[in-house]
């Protein structure tokens, strides 16, 4: 069974970079699939951020692309998200997930809350 666990700071200052890591167990990232980040502001809907394939191929949400970097580390079986120049609008529950191809998301982490505040 695939298990995904997000980790990273729960509080980030405005204008700084938000950095999160997703540790994957029960499946080798190098075996395939796309690995994604999705966020959900408190009380609001889901917003897809980006995904990365083990080969390094990436897709980004156009509205966030200029601030987002996603990467994969197959040796550690984890992938990461960097979101630069954060503002209060980036406060959200951040989920990591496994995408089946590019179509749908079958496996989700539990999410980690990141608050942007000074």
Partner 1 sequence: SSELTQPPSVSVSPGQTATITCSRDGLGTFDVSWYQQKPGQSPVLVIYQDNRRPSGIPERFSGSNSGNTATLTISGTQALDEADYYCQAWDSTVVFGGGTKLTVL
Closest approach of partner 1 to the CB of residue 33, in Å: 14
Query: How far apart (Å, rounded) are the C-alpha atoms in residues 112 and 63?
Result: 21
Closest approach of partner 1 to the CB of residue 104, in Å: 4
Closest approach of partner 1 to the CB of residue 106, in Å: 5
Residue 12's DSSP bridge partners are: 116
Residue among 16 and 60 whose Cβ is closer to partner 1? 60
Residues that bind partner 1 (CB under 8 A): 36, 38, 45-48, 51, 59-62, 95, 99-100, 102-106, 108-111
Residues 6+ apart with CB under 8 A from 72: 29, 35, 52, 53, 54, 56, 78, 79, 80
């Amino acid at each position: 069974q695939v298990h995904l666990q997000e980790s990273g700071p729960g509080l980030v200052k405005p204008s700084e970079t938000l950095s999160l890591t997703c540790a994957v167990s029960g499946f080798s990232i190098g075996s395939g699939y796309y690995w994604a980040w999705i966020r959900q502001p408190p009380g609001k809907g889901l917003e897809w951020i980006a995904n990365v394939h083990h080969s390094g191929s990436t897709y980004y949400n156009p509205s966030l692309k200029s601030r987002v970097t996603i990467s994969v580390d197959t040796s550690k079986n984890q992938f990461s998200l960097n979101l630069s120049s954060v503002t209060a609008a980036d406060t959200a529950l951040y989920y990591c997930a496994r995408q089946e191809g590019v179509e749908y998301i079958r496996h989700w982490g539990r999410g980690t809350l990141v608050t942007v505040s000074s």
